[in-house]
Chain A
Amino acid sequence: MCGIAALQLKDPALRSQLGTLMHGMLCEIVERGPDSAGISVYGDARLNPEGVATVSLLDAGRPDGDIAAALTDLLGVPATVTTLGDTTLASAAASTDELSAALRIAAPGARQIGRGDSVATLKGIGDPVGLAEQFGLESVSGTQGVSHTRMATESAVTASGSHPFTVADDLCLVHNGSFSNHASIRRTLKAQGVEFDSDNDSEVAARYLATRLQAGDTLPEALENLKAVFDGFYTLVVTTADGLAVLRDPIACKPAIIAETDQWVAMASEYRALAGLPGIEDARIFEPEPGEVYSWTF
């Protein structure tokens, strides 16, 4: 069992409330996964300033100030580095590739667990609500976000095993379920040169989607391909800079409920996570059909 809560705000007037709304949703999915959690937020001016790339690190290994100074030297532009709980966020007015490469030198032992121009990913172990407070979730604004509470079943409870998996620029995946053929797909991807951050089965799905998107698939096409290749139980939420998608496996044991109004679209493991959203009384509420890809773009 894991908990998922995702929210895309279509109405710009609501975007200053993204963090507050996500916090309310997260509090209702804690019981589904109390061991660790992660949050990805798109378009927050503090976490992701315009024209600035952000990379999330675990086990940064050096004080924030030292990493920032090294990055500034390497990139020739000012860099900011902030540690929030287990996660360290590094930002600079550079491309994500340049920032990522500089971080391999500036923070050589660190794991890079998120990257993008629009997204900031924060992960940690322990009480999800405590983590949300460490991350300052309630003060976050932005266009969309996804949070995940994990009840680990197939790999260790670690920050790197927490979701979301943000494995390519602005691409996040969260998963409730378990894949049964992830090891063989991991081998195939490794043979193609793909590198992994963890032993987690969900990361394999994220890496697979990244390769499909790289090859030119649209997000719905990439998810159709995932459905054909992956075996197991899953409810997936995938977000990109452009939008959000939901897919349940054809057996559909894992829950998902979607609510949509003109102002927002939200998906959660359980209705109670949606109950506090503004205008929920008049929302269109439905369970996504098994095996069907749903997507929303801005």
Chain B
Amino acid sequence: MDVLEETVVDLASTPVRELNKALHEAEPGSRWRVENPRGAHNVAVGIHEDIRVTVEGHVGYFAAGMHQKGWLEIVGNAGTGLAENIMSGTVHVTGSTSQSTGATGHGGLIVVDGSTGARCGIAMKGVDIVVGGDIGHMSAFMAQAGRLVVCGDAGEALGDSIYEARIYVKGTVASLGADCIEKPMRDEHLAELGDLLAAAGRSDDPADFRRYGSARTLYHFHSHNTY
């Protein structure tokens, strides 16, 4: 088997801007390894070619922001705003993430093996997010499209003011937000959840999950909602 050449970037000696510039100019199919991130912000933002990047260590805020293509793995934890506005491709975090994971994401897949902080999937617009552990409060706030899968528990006010998007939770939900309700699991939901879990490399049984989504009562203005 051919061993593909891998470019190593050591953030102990290379500024993040140089790393990101190199990743933006990378050849499709190239492989990259990033060492010593030491909690740096904005690591590997704006990747727009089909490349594979592994970051060895914990990253700070906004890692993998605007991820457009390719596969990025962070072997560690990530701070606030992981993969914010992701468009497509895959971002995998082996540890846990802070708040606003996948905020406003339009597409692609985010996999967090650990847990996330508050506001996971806030304003998500089509991204799929699979979390191995728990998610914090106000997750999927104003979610518009996409799927959020939680293999642990969800915090308070899940799916508050949700437009669309489907939420699957295996554990407990501390409370549902405004206009978010439990919905029946039909065959198509079991099938899409099975696909998402498989894509995330997980072996959880889709039958153990419950589905939540929008009651669609906030779509239109009602005069009785005035104060």
Which A residues fall within an 8 A CB radius of B? 28, 252-253, 255, 257, 270-276, 285-287, 290
In the complex, A286→B39 CA distance in Å? 14
Is the beta-carbon distance between B58 and A287 smaller than 8 angstroms? Answer: no
In the complex, A274→B38 CA distance in Å? 9
Is the beta-carbon distance between B118 and A271 smaller than 8 angstroms? Answer: no
Within the complex, the shortest CB–CB distance from B96 to chain A, in Å, comes to 8
- Given the known A-B contacts A271-B77, A285-B77, A290-B137, are A252 and B38 also in contact in the complex, defined by CB atoms under 8 Å? no
B213 CB–A CB distance under 8 Å: no
Main SS of chain B's interface residues? loop
- Given the known A-B contacts A290-B136, A290-B137, are A272 and B38 also in contact in the complex, defined by CB atoms under 8 Å? yes
In the complex, A274→B98 CA distance in Å? 16
B40 CB–A CB distance under 8 Å: yes
B89 CB–A CB distance under 8 Å: no
Interface 0/1 of B102-140, CB less than 8 Å to A:
000000000000000110000000000000000011000
Is the beta-carbon distance between B80 and A255 smaller than 8 angstroms? Answer: yes
B177 CB–A CB distance under 8 Å: no
Q: B79 — which chain A residues lie within 8 A by C-beta?
A: 255, 270-271
Q: Which residue of B lies closest to A285 (CB)?
A: B77
Within the complex, the shortest CB–CB distance from A285 to chain B, in Å, comes to 7
B144 CB–A CB distance under 8 Å: no
Is the beta-carbon distance between B39 and A287 smaller than 8 angstroms? Answer: no
Q: B98 — which chain A residues lie within 8 A by C-beta?
A: 255, 257, 287
Q: A276 — which chain B residues lie within 8 A by C-beta?
A: 38
What are the 4 A-B residue pairs with the smallest beta carbon separation, nearest first? A272-B39, A271-B39, A275-B38, A275-B39
Is the beta-carbon distance between B136 and A271 smaller than 8 angstroms? Answer: no
Q: A271 — which chain B residues lie within 8 A by C-beta?
A: 39, 58, 60, 77, 79
